[in-house]
Structure 1
Amino acid sequence: MRIWVDADACPNVIKDVLYKVAMRREVELTLVANIPLRVPASPLIDTIHVADGFDEADHEIARQAQSGDLVITADIPLADRIVDKGATGLNPRGELYTEDNIKGLLRMRNLMEELRSAGSVSGGPAPIGPKDKQEFTNQLDRFLTKALNR
């Protein structure tokens, strides 16, 4: 079991949680980004630097993630791809992406994108706050406890 991180858009506060959890729970953590990243020195934590380009990190994660892995991403199309492979997604606000909810979330995301492009909706999500960090941490802990006790 490995944790993959769509690191280009992942907030630093969430990355910090992931570093601590990877070392405490002894779980491999791979951050994928199109910019070089600085991560704590640990044999459990590594990075993959992909080429610049739209969705390059997403493509790499989708290619490498396996059934049972956890992918940290706010990108719903990426989450859809990895759930189809048997992995689970978790967004930085603590919402799990699973077989039970991903298709509905993808439809909602596509609708919102259409509304934004038509000018009917503007803006994006609020910055990650302490409540989001706590929900993420709680959901991550529940997932890992279940996955590592199998």
Structure 2
Amino acid sequence: MRIFIDGDGSPVKDTAIEVALAYSIEVVIVTSIDHYSLKEYPKNVSFVYVDKGADAADYKIVQLIKTDDVLVTQDYGLASLVLPKGVRVLHQLGYEYTGENMDGLLEQRYFSAKVRKSGGRTKGPKAFTQADREKFKENLVTLIDDNIR
């Protein structure tokens, strides 16, 4: 099992790394070269840098991720592409993407895009809170424990 993180703008990278360290799990952060960093990370963390482009990180994740890996992303489209591979997918707010909730999420995204395209406005996400971070951490630990059993 590895934890992949869709790294561009993810507010839970450090939290996921902290949990992964406790379980000795490898973390792969896929991000745009625009987000290159000299920050030092633990040895279980590696980076895959991709060219600029709207979906470059997504395509690389789909290429690299395998059954029983975990993906952390807020991207519904990416989640829908890796679920059929047997990947567990966790949103940064802590809820898990599943086959049961994916259709509704994609439909909601489609209608919101349609509203914006026609000049309408939709609500953006709420500010990420410490409570959101704690819920994410708790659910990541539960997900890992479920996979280990």
- TM-score w.r.t. length of structure 1: 0.91
Number of paired residues? 147
- Structure 1, unmatched stretches of 5+, are none
Runs of 4+ in 1 over 3 A off after TM superposition: 37-41
Shift of 1:8: 0.5
Please tell me whether the aligned partners of residues 116 and 122 of structure 2 are also in contact (alpha carbons under 8 angstroms). yes
- Look up the match of 2:22: 24
- Look up the match of 1:9: 9
The SS at the match of 1:119 is coil
State which drifts further: 121-130 or 37-46.
Answer: 37-46
In 2, the alpha carbon distance for the partners of 1:9 and 1:50 equals 14
- Look up the match of 2:127: 127
In 1, the alpha carbon distance for the partners of 2:146 and 2:70 equals 12
C-alpha spacing 1:98/1:38, structure 2 compared with 1 (3 Å):
farther
Give the fraction of aligned pairs with identical amino acids, expressed as a percent. Answer: 28
AA aligned to 1:24 is A
C-alpha spacing 1:141/1:37, structure 2 compared with 1 (3 Å):
same
In 1, the alpha carbon distance for the partners of 2:4 and 2:70 equals 6
AA aligned to 2:20 is A
- TM-score w.r.t. length of structure 2: 0.91
AA aligned to 2:81 is R
